[in-house]
Amino acid sequence: MKKSEKELWELRVANAQRNVINRRRFHSMAGGLVALSLGGLGSAWASGEASVKQLTSGTITLGGWPDWIGKDNIPDFRKAYPDADVRLASIPGEEDRIAKLATDPAAVDIMLLVENDVQRLIDLGVSAPVDLGAVPNYANVDEAFKVGYAAASQPRCVTTDYGKTGFGYRRDIVKEDLKSWADVWKVAEKYKGKITFLNQPQFVIGTGLIVNGDSISSTDGSAVRRAADKIIEIKPFLKRFVDTDISRGLVDGSVAIAMSWDYDIYLAQQENENIVWVAPEDGIYGYLDVWAPVNTSERLPVVWKFFDFFFQPRQYANFVNTLGTASCMEASKPFIDKRMANSEILNPSKEVLKRVQYPKPLGEGQRIWDREWLRIQAA
């Protein structure tokens, strides 16, 4: 029996929610609290260049979130290239991925990371530069999302999607018209016990920095401390810091205001129309998801083949439609579900995008963030 448009939409939303649940269950701090020992790594990868014989066929392994791929991307790639294949390796959380490459540099051919974590692959000596000559379709990705290590000049990764951290609130519970993080602080006492923040340091401390007017990548000890103080100020009014089911409280009404990601709030709105998404006027913590090639791979030519195939507009649209994530490719819009393509949450105006800040590697400053996160937890 042919399914109605409504039934097909509900199936798509359910599938996207399942993938989002997989991802947010394992979402951990980029840059985190794990100290990696590099002493066991030999010098073979120190140059960052591939030094192994390259094969043009065979199976490559992509490490990352469980099922974070379009439902047709790999089957269609197999049809287009019968002598090549892609295997998914579930490696939950950025820290797990970095640790995996530190102990087993040949574990994968591609690793899904957030863009600012690519520096850590470079530090490990396992980052491979992208051969753009073999990936002409990367030109389809909008220039606004080719930043940092994903820049079009000499990329060490390719941008697959992006996200924005803001907040959602229940307009039938919260009577104020919230527009910024500063607004959340103003009403926090009124809605005590009905506010949740993410249990992830980069987003929480980053928000404190935004409220104070500082860079989300600050490594200045006094600035990061002030940001932590700002979080400690609001902490008595929070219900809790949450790791999973981020927007569930908004859906059932047990939470009035929730820090979350754009795609998460978008999907929650499909269940409750009283949920409002806010892209804070005082600043938005953004992140770029990237695929980073690993220089220990024996099949980088297959990696480039897969990248180029993926960045065809129809294939990229399948990725977006499957996961319910935000698109980085205007050229794919005709093939993206109309409700998603026209969503102001997933596809905001240029004015909103100007407010998005992308984090930079913290380097030694990570220790400052770690210390302040521990202070927030103890407060």
pLDDT tens digits, one per residue of 304-351 = 999 999 999 999 999 999 998 999 999 999 999 999 999 999 989 989
Q: Same CATH topology for 5-33+46-162+286-348 and 165-285+359-378?
A: yes
- Domain formed by 165-285+359-378, architecture: 3-Layer(aba) Sandwich (3.40)
Q: How confident is the model at residue 2 (pLDDT cuts 50, 70, 90)?
A: very low
pLDDT over 90 percentage in the chain: 78
CA–centroid distance for 48 within its chain: 24
Q: What is the pTM of this model?
A: 0.79
Per-residue pLDDT tens over the stretch 186-204: 999 999 999 999 998 999 9
Contact in structure between 197 and 242 (CB atoms under 8 Å):
yes
Fill in the amino acid letter for 361: P
**What's the pLDDT score for residue 87?**
98
Out of 19-33, 51-65, 130-144, 258-272, least confident range? 19-33
Long-range contacts of 176-184 (CB under 8 A, 24+ apart): 178/257, 178/276, 178/278, 179/278, 179/280, 179/281, 180/278, 180/280, 180/281, 180/282, 181/207, 181/210, 181/211, 181/280, 181/282, 181/283, 182/211, 182/282, 184/234, 184/257
Token pair listed for 89 = 């390796």
CATH classification (class only), 5-33+46-162+286-348: alpha beta
Calculate mean pLDDT across residues 47-53: 55
**What's the pLDDT score for residue 46?**
41
Per-residue pLDDT tens over the stretch 238-260: 999 998 889 999 999 999 999 99
Q: How confident is the model at residue 51 (pLDDT cuts 50, 70, 90)?
A: low
Mean of pLDDT over the chain: 88
**What's the pLDDT score for residue 94?**
77
The residue with tokens 């860079």 is 215
Task: State the CB neighbour count (10 A cutoff) for residue 270.
Answer: 18
Calculate mean pLDDT across residues 222-230: 99
**What's the pLDDT score for residue 261?**
93
Calculate mean pLDDT across residues 128-146: 96
**What's the pLDDT score for residue 354?**
92
Q: How confident is the model at residue 1 (pLDDT cuts 50, 70, 90)?
A: very low
Q: Is the pLDDT of residue 292 over 50?
A: yes
Q: How confident is the model at residue 92 (pLDDT cuts 50, 70, 90)?
A: confident
Q: How confident is the model at residue 69 (pLDDT cuts 50, 70, 90)?
A: very high
Contact in structure between 271 and 191 (CB atoms under 8 Å):
no
Q: Where are the domains of the chain?
A: 5-33+46-162+286-348, 165-285+359-378
**What's the pLDDT score for residue 152?**
84
Long-range contacts of 372-375 (CB under 8 A, 24+ apart): 372/205, 372/224, 372/225, 372/227, 372/228, 373/33, 373/201, 373/204, 373/205, 373/228, 375/228, 375/232
Q: How confident is the model at residue 14 (pLDDT cuts 50, 70, 90)?
A: low
- Mutual orientation of helices 262-269 and 5-26 as an angle, nearest 10°? 140
Q: How confident is the model at residue 23 (pLDDT cuts 50, 70, 90)?
A: low
**What's the pLDDT score for residue 205?**
97
CA distance 336 to 339: 8
CA distance 83 to 306: 12
Backbone dihedral angles phi then psi of residue 267, each to the nearest 5 degrees = -70, -35
Out of 48-52, 134-138, 225-229, least confident range? 48-52
